[in-house]
Every structure is written in structure tokens, then in C-alpha cells.
Structure 1
Amino acid sequence: MRTLTIKGRITLLYALLTALLPAVLLPVVYGAVSASLRREMDSQLRSAIAQVLIAVDDQDEAFRLNQQVDLPDAITLCVTDPQGQPIFSTAGGEWLQTAAIQPDGKTVHQNETYTVRQETVQIEGATVTASAAISAGSAEASLHTLQVLLGILVPIYLALAIAGAYLLAKRAIRPITEITKAAETIRAGDLSQRITGIATQDEIQELADTFNTMLHRLQASFTRERQFTADASHELRTPVAVISACAEELQKDLPQGEAVEPVAAIQRESARMHKILSQLLLLTRGYEGRYHLEREVFPLREVVASVMEELAETAAASQIRLFNQVPEEVSLYADQSLTTQLLINLIGNSIRYGRERGKVVVRASLTQTQCTFTVSDDGIGIQEDQLPHIFERFYRADPARDRSGSGLGLSIVQWIVSLHNGQITVHSTYGQGTLVTVALPTQPSA
């Protein structure tokens, strides 16, 4: 399961908090409004009852109103004497004498809900009962309207809040995105990249400044390293050439069988040193961007065939068979010289680390966007913990097995693939063999 990004987590957290606030406050608001409406109705009923009871008088053992009472039209009221006979009632209010009042003070009359208040008072020693009712429909209508408004406004509020949180999170995370892009560029080999346009005067800007300082130091360090590599490689070429030439002349002058092997070893190691120096200079020029690609369309099968012909003697020494299974129609748009070097390194490695009487097979396929070719062998393979390091300079997966190589072959292969905007992957099973897959674009990048 994919982990949420920081932007997603901020948005989600804000959305949850935003939803929690209405979930807590809305019941409180709704309850407060409902209680306020109930108190208002109860106040009206108490006022109406008080107004009527003040006007009730006992005259000749008969109760009646001694003054005119003006009640709101919304209130229905009925006053009864100790015998339950009406003393006073509003128009149609007699039903209150027999109304079944629920514990919450509600009753239903003619399919309409009423809120009822009932009070008893002693007048001249007799108990007089006053019942007042008001329709609960207006209060329920008000509460229903409130519910509808909340049902409409709350989702809108949540949507706006979440959208705002997303935009704010996106804006806050934007500098980190710039830092990520810079890191991606660095991974591609461009140490000149810097993070610009951040002036937030906060921790993000501090991070960006620290990152830029680190990049500056890294660039200076890599520049010094590459300069040293280039200078050392260039300066050592002449002494190595002199040593090789002197060894060759010495071998000519020595009697047969006298110190031949030491001189031959000097020649072999001189040739190996010359190869290492040449490859270091090639890598240095490549890293510094001083190598110009000469792209052209050429048949891949022919290049593979020429490489296999060049390496045939080396393969024959270990009785390793070479198979060129690249279809005739597969063409590649690339630098032919570098592609040849790439294939020499890959096929040469397969031969060097192949098993005796084994085989090396080159296959290829073509699509509209890329050409993919593989080099496979059935040799000793590479251990899983060594795979992440095989493209490092001078790294050897099995240093005890073969010292004839330079240790730079796969570094050069990776550089060539990167220079062509391609991809390279290595799959290997220790003791069974290795498969290297290279995918190169069939046309130049826009």
C-alpha cells in the first residue's frame, strides 16, 4: 500500500479536523436553538395563563372573568373550575379539558402537535385549572429549515475547507518539490543545479540554503576528483608508453628463454595500465560533458557480429560459444563507436566470467520508441548483495577470479547508456548466469 505524501497527509488531517468541528458544534447549536424555541413558547404560555388567572374572580360561588383578556391568536386556552366546567376558553379551546398531555408537555389534536402548559391556582379556597396550548408546527418548521440549511452549508464548508487545505499544503510543500527536483538532477550527474526562488524566511528556506551549500561542496569535491583523474591519466600515459616500449626492445635483445616471462609480464601490465588510463580519460571527458555524440542509424546485428569476431579468440580459449540472435531488421539510432565499446565490454565480461564450454547469447527487439537488446551468459553469476555495486569504478564482484580487466567496463557501459538517455538493468543468479538488458531510444529526445 502506497504511503500518503506529506501534502496528502496535511490535507487529510485538516479535513478530519474540519469535519470534527461541525460534528461537535452543530449538535450544540441545534440543541441551543431548539431549547430557545421551547423556552420562548413556554414563556408565551405562562404569560397567557397568568393574564387569564388574574382576571378570574369568584362571584356568588361562581367563577367568571372580571375583565376582558386579550390573548395572541396562536394561543389556545381553557380555564376550568373545581368541577371541571369551563370558566373561560378561546374559540375552540374546549378540547384542552380532555387532552392527553404527554410527559414532555406535548399533545396531538386534529393531527397537529401542540405544546401544552397546565397550571392550577387556589382562588377563594377552590382549585382553578388553566391549560394553554400553542402549535409546535412553527418551531418544528424553524428547526427543519435549520436542518436543511446545515445539510447544504456543511458539505459546502467542508469542500471549501479541504480545497483550501490542499492549496495551502501544495504551496507549503512546493519548495520541497523543488529540492526533490534538484536531487533528481544531481542523481543524473548535474551538480551545478541549485535551488532558487525560495524566500519564505522559514525552515524551508533554511533547508534550501543548507542543501545549496552541500551541493557547492559536492561540486567542488567532484571537480577536484575529476581534474585529478584527468591529470593523472594524462601524465601517466607517457611513462606507461615508455615502459611498454622499453620492455618490447628488451624482449628483442634478450636471448631466448632468458628472463622472457618477467619481460612479458611487464608488457602485459603496461598494456593493461594503458587501457585503464584510456578508459579513465574517456569517463572523465564524458562526465565533464566534453564528449560529442555522433548519432547515426546502423544495423545492430552487424555491430554485434564484428564485436563477436573480435572476441572470438578470447571466447575460444574457454571454449565458450557466441550466438548472435539479433534480427536483421533491428537498427539502432546511436553513436556507433560507443555502441561498439558497450558491446565489447558486455560480451567481454560474459566471456571473462562465463563457465567453460558455456555460451553467450545476444538478442534484440524493436518497438516504435526504443530498441532493447540483451546479453546473457550461463557463467558464475553475481551474488545479490553485489549487484548494487557493479557499476562502481574499479569494483569487482569476484576479484580473485580474473585480474585481466580494468574494473571500469561496466562504469563505461552505464555512462554510454546514460549519454543516450537509455536504461540498463542487470539480473543475475549466482552460479547460473547473468542477463544484462539495455534499452535505447530509437529517435533523439525532444
Structure 2
Amino acid sequence: IVLVISLLVTLITDYAFTNFILRPFYKIIDQKLNKVNNPTSYNYQNIPTNTTDFKILDNSINSLMRKISDLFLLEKQFIANVSHELLTPISILSGRLENILTADNLPIEHENKIFASLKTLNRLKVIINSLLLISKVENEQYLKKDNVSIKHQLDEIYEDLEDRILDKKIIYQNHVKSDFIFTGNQALIHTLLVNIINNAIKYNMLNGSITIGEDLNSSNYTLIINDTGIGMEKEIASNAFNRFERENNENEDGFGLGLAIVNSIAKFHQLNIDIKSSSK
């Protein structure tokens, strides 16, 4: 009997310790660590507790998050400033080169060099804008309040890319019939899909095909995009979402940022994205 009573007392004590004494600690972990996705949305309100150690822990976390938030805001400002400082002189230089092209009696060799320089400057602008977009997405500087229709986005993208699809004589089949809608940023989702389908066109073969399908069940919606492209080795496919990672292909221009943008937008919307490919 004494043993049973001792066991009951121990269980009651453990229960009280876990559910009452440690409750503020679990609240700190849950509300101040597990649920923080963005430093700017952090809740600095102290968790009610009479335990000195928990108060110290709570205040220390608040202090740390203030420092992180300050650094986060500085980073955003730095990116905006650097982008402006880089894009402005590039635009000015491009304008000056374009004006030179209008000059009479410009030697053909000079004209060719100017065209090459303009192409390089344009590539720099694309890279800077792409990196700026990735940074803004990763810093959660966009809202996710739009009702996004996947079917509508795909229809719009086909209209935009139809000429390129026809140029390569690609058989384009869109089997998406359901009007699946989710809450997100419509412009970013459009960018995500454009980059994926653009890659499917760019690296496809002449007379190839692009097939878009869907798998909809009670818990998940999966969009499937298949193409008859050149494919990628397993190692390259596993690193495809990294910035500036791309397979060397002299026949195609690229910066290795398209899929990095796709990956950032997918993470921002908490979407899973996967590549299955084999080299041909």
C-alpha cells in the first residue's frame, strides 16, 4: 500500500511539475520560437510567470530577437540601396551607348562592340533584378492575400509563351481542368510557373512536348509538368535550385537563377517542389 501511495504521489507531482510549473517554459518555446517566421512579426510581450529563470529566458529571447530584427531591417535596406546604386549607372551607360549607335558613319566594328556591350549590360540588369527578387521573397516583403487560380495562371502563361512554343514546334498539352484556388501572391506564383514552363521550352528539343497535369485529393494538390528536354544528371538536378547552378550548355543563355527564384517563391508559399530528371 505504501508503495502504491508513493507511486501515486510521484505521478501527481510529475503531472503538476509538467503542467503548471513548466507551462510558461513551453509557452516560451511554442509562441516565441516555433511560431516565428519573420523577425518583424515577433511578439515581444512577456509570458506570465513567477519563475525567475523563465523570466530571464524570456527577456533574453526578446533581446536577441530585437538584435535579429534590426539586422534584418538593415539587410533589406542594404539590398535596396545596392540594387539602386548598381542599376542606375547601368541604365545611364546603356542610354549613352544607344545614343552612340544613332551616330552617322559609325564603323561596323564599333557598332558590333557596342551591341555586345549592351547585351552584357542587359545581362547584368537581369541578374541584379533576379537577385533582388529572391532577396525580397526570402525577406517576406510580399503579401499573400490573393485568391490564385492555377488554371487561370496556366492559360495566361500559354498566351504569353505561345510564339516560343510554336517556334520550336513543341506539342503543348494542358490537362488541368479543376479550378483549384489557394491563397498566395498571384504575381509571384505567375513568376514561378513562367520560370518552370520557360525552362521546359528553352531546354526542350525541336518537335518535343510539354505536358501539364494535376493530382487533386482531399489533402494535397500536385501540379505535374513533364517535358522532353535534354535532361540533367542526378548530381546537377539535386543542385538545380541553388543560385548560379546550371548545366553547361553553349546553345542556351542563362544565369542559373530561374530555378533559384522558383525555389524561393515555393518556400515563401510553403509549397513542395521536386525535380525528376535523367540526362539524355
Scaled by the length of structure 2, the TM-score of the pair is: 0.71
Q: Does 1:364 align with 2:209?
A: no
| Contact map agreement 2:137 2:264 (CA 8 A) in 1 | yes
For 1:229, the aligned partner's letter is I
Gapped runs of 5+ residues in structure 1? Answer: 1-149, 433-446
Q: Does 1:271 align with 2:150?
A: no
Tell me: CA distance 1:191–1:155, structure 2 relative to 1, closer, same or farther (3 Å): farther
CA distance in 1, matches of 2:237, 2:18: 41
Give the one of 50, 69, 75 matched to 1:225. Answer: 75
**Cα offset, 1:305, TM superposition:** 3.5
**Cα offset, 1:430, TM superposition:** 5.1
Q: Does 1:398 align with 2:241?
A: no
For 1:409, the aligned partner's letter is G
**Cα offset, 1:343, TM superposition:** 0.9
Partner residue, 2:187: 337
Q: Which SS does the other structure have where 1:363 is aligned? A: strand
CA distance in 1, matches of 2:201, 2:69: 38
CA distance in 1, matches of 2:43, 2:237: 33
| Contact map agreement 1:229 1:280 (CA 8 A) in 2 | no
Partner residue, 2:175: 325
| Contact map agreement 2:215 2:222 (CA 8 A) in 1 | yes
| Contact map agreement 1:319 1:357 (CA 8 A) in 2 | yes
Counterparts of residues 233-252 of structure 1 (less than 5 Å):
233-252=83-102
Tell me: CA distance 1:396–1:280, structure 2 relative to 1, closer, same or farther (3 Å): closer
Q: Does 1:189 align with 2:38?
A: yes
| Contact map agreement 1:179 1:208 (CA 8 A) in 2 | no
Q: Which SS does the other structure have where 2:231 is aligned? A: coil
Tell me: CA distance 1:173–1:239, structure 2 relative to 1, closer, same or farther (3 Å): same
Tell me: CA distance 1:164–1:302, structure 2 relative to 1, closer, same or farther (3 Å): same
CA distance in 2, matches of 1:181, 1:411: 31
| Contact map agreement 2:245 2:257 (CA 8 A) in 1 | no
**Cα offset, 1:222, TM superposition:** 2.5
Partner residue, 1:126: none
CA distance in 1, matches of 2:65, 2:234: 34
Q: Deviations over 1:68-88 (max 9, x none)?
A: xxxxxxxxxxxxxxxxxxxxx
Q: Give the number of the structure whose residues are more often strand, by fraction.
A: 1
Q: Does 1:262 align with 2:113?
A: yes
**Cα offset, 1:428, TM superposition:** 3.0
Partner residue, 1:165: 14
| Contact map agreement 1:391 1:411 (CA 8 A) in 2 | yes
Gapped runs of 5+ residues in structure 2? Answer: none
| Contact map agreement 2:214 2:222 (CA 8 A) in 1 | yes
For 1:200, the aligned partner's letter is T
| Contact map agreement 1:391 1:414 (CA 8 A) in 2 | yes
For 2:115, the aligned partner's letter is A
**Cα offset, 1:264, TM superposition:** 2.7
| Contact map agreement 1:362 1:376 (CA 8 A) in 2 | yes
Tell me: CA distance 1:282–1:425, structure 2 relative to 1, closer, same or farther (3 Å): closer
Q: Which SS does the other structure have where 2:39 is aligned? A: coil
Counterparts of residues 34-113 of structure 1 (less than 5 Å):
none
**Cα offset, 1:424, TM superposition:** 2.2
For 1:380, the aligned partner's letter is G
Q: CA RMSD in A?
A: 4.0
| Contact map agreement 1:321 1:358 (CA 8 A) in 2 | yes
Scaled by the length of structure 1, the TM-score of the pair is: 0.49
CA distance in 2, matches of 1:223, 1:401: 39
| Contact map agreement 1:182 1:193 (CA 8 A) in 2 | yes
Give the one of 290, 295, 303 matched to 2:153. Answer: 303
Q: Does 1:426 align with 2:274?
A: yes
**Cα offset, 1:380, TM superposition:** 2.9
CA distance in 1, matches of 2:17, 2:216: 46
Q: Give the number of the structure whose residues are more often helix, by fraction.
A: 2
CA distance in 2, matches of 1:384, 1:246: 44
| Contact map agreement 1:251 1:263 (CA 8 A) in 2 | yes
Question: Which of the pair has the greater relative contact order for Cα pairs under 8 Å at 6+ separation?
Answer: 2
